[in-house]
Amino acid sequence: MKRLTKEEALDLIRNADLKELGKMASERKKELHPKGVTTFVVDRNINYTNICWVDCKFCAFYRHEKDEDAYVLSFDEIDAKIDELLEIGGTQILFQGGVHPKLKIEWYEDLVEHIHTKYPTITIHGFSSIEIDFIARVSRISVQEVLARLKAKGLASIPGAGAEILSDKVRDIIAPKKIDSDVWIDIHRQAHKLGIMSTATMMYGTVETDEDIIDHLEMVRSLQDETGGFRAFIMWSFQSDNTELLRQIPDMEKPSSNRYLRLLAVARLYLDNVPNIQSSWVTQGPYIGQMALKFGANDLGSTMMEENVVSSAGAGFTMAKDEMVHLIRDVGEHPAIRNTAYEILERF
Ligand code: SF4
């Protein structure tokens, strides 16, 4: 398939017939995944702290150190969560905080080493580029050193969180203290060069334009051309409940399911070098999550034992393994459990 230009992608977002777009994305998905296997991972989110100084206006999860319900999980509390995950056959923890203002590299090294030593079968998919950037700054070392030291202790993969929209004019409005888009890209570049694979994400539905969305996809595609280090792309819509952004812009419209499916299909077509596209049933609900499989997604994400960040902002769906299997079969595809590297572990 010929690579889409920015202009063509923009035209598809604005003018394409939704059904046609789904067909095009499904054809592209079939080229990449001809056996009709749709995967998911059994994992759990562990938000090791909710203390964060970044104060993103779209976030309802963070607390400041002095808040009554601020927390940093102890190693024992983290262990208890991993024990529960092992009981259901899980293989991955999505490990993310807030961006704690005081914790330095040594604390993170101890933590990663502790988990990796005690639970060698668990893959640590952890620390967004925002956290990595701040660990470097507060510890007065380079980002490269943070990544190398955490990798040496057992960090396997980093999540794409914190990308939101890779446009500084959007970031300046919704998350003015967050790292700039080129810093986000560069941290993933450095991780990939060290052999740490990652995922790319996009949160849309705030103040961005269609052009900003295309620019975001272009930055992801371009880094992927350079490094090949993104395993997957995951996008979701802004979840507005309890957020500062909604207080500031109360008439902000919730993005529709149509918009989600449309953007997902365009992402599948534009990101011709990213093998896996996840459906975000956590934010869109099981039905649209399932529909996404007809719009280019080949992965249903996670069974989500625990999800704090998005649920703080109103997305409260949880889905067990059986339901994932059912949803995948229901659209005529073959369900399979995967690991972080998208290798098949179990078929149904
Ligand atoms: S989205 Fe992340 S970085 Fe931003 S305030 Fe919430 S926890 Fe902090």
Question: For the residues 293-307, what does the mean pLDDT come to?
Answer: 85
Q: Which of 51, 59, 72, 312 to mutate to test the pocket of ligand 1 (most atoms within 8 A of CB)?
A: 59
- Pick from 24, 1, 30, 29: which is nearest to 11 by CA? 24
| Gap from CA of 2 to ligand 1 centroid (Å) | 38
Q: Which atom of ligand 1 approaches the CA of 98 most closely?
A: 7
Beta strands 344-347 and 334-338 are antiparallel
Q: Cβ(202) to ligand 1 under 6 A? A: no
- Give tens-digit pLDDT for 154-178: 999 999 999 999 999 999 999 999 9
Q: Cβ(21) to ligand 1 under 6 A? A: no
pLDDT of residue 272: 97
Q: Which atom of ligand 1 approaches the CA of 178 most closely?
A: 3
Which residue is closest in CA terms to ligand 1's atom 7?
98
Tokens in use for 79?
């262990």
pTM of the entire predicted model = 0.94
Q: Cβ(288) to ligand 1 under 6 A? A: no
Q: Which atom of ligand 1 approaches the CA of 97 most closely?
A: 7
Q: Cβ(244) to ligand 1 under 6 A? A: no
- Give tens-digit pLDDT for 241-263: 888 888 888 888 888 999 999 99
Locate the domains of the chain by residue range: 6-347
pLDDT of residue 325: 92
Q: Cβ(99) to ligand 1 under 6 A? A: yes
Give Dmax (Cα) for the chain.
Answer: 55
In 186-341, at which residue ranges do the beta strands (DSSP E only) sit?
Answer: 197-204, 230-237, 276-278, 299-302, 334-338
Tokens in use for 67?
């808040």
State yes or no: pLDDT of 57 exceeds 80. yes
DSSP 68: T
Q: Which atom of ligand 1 approaches the CA of 55 most closely?
A: 5
- Give tens-digit pLDDT for 27-37: 999 999 999 99
| Gap from CA of 331 to ligand 1 centroid (Å) | 35
Question: For the residues 190-199, what does the mean pLDDT come to?
Answer: 98
pLDDT of residue 313: 57
In which residue are the tokens 């500084």 written? 168
> Please, are residues 238 and 204 in contact by the beta-carbon 8 Å criterion?
yes
Question: For the residues 124-145, what does the mean pLDDT come to?
Answer: 97
pLDDT of residue 18: 97
Q: Cβ(62) to ligand 1 under 6 A? A: yes
| Gap from CA of 130 to ligand 1 centroid (Å) | 9
Tokens in use for 340?
């972080």
What is 6-347's CATH topology? TIM Barrel (3.20.20)
Q: Cβ(134) to ligand 1 under 6 A? A: no
Q: Which atom of ligand 1 approaches the CA of 50 most closely?
A: 7
Question: For the residues 102-109, what does the mean pLDDT come to?
Answer: 97
Q: Cβ(59) to ligand 1 under 6 A? A: yes
Q: Cβ(61) to ligand 1 under 6 A? A: yes
Q: Cβ(56) to ligand 1 under 6 A? A: yes
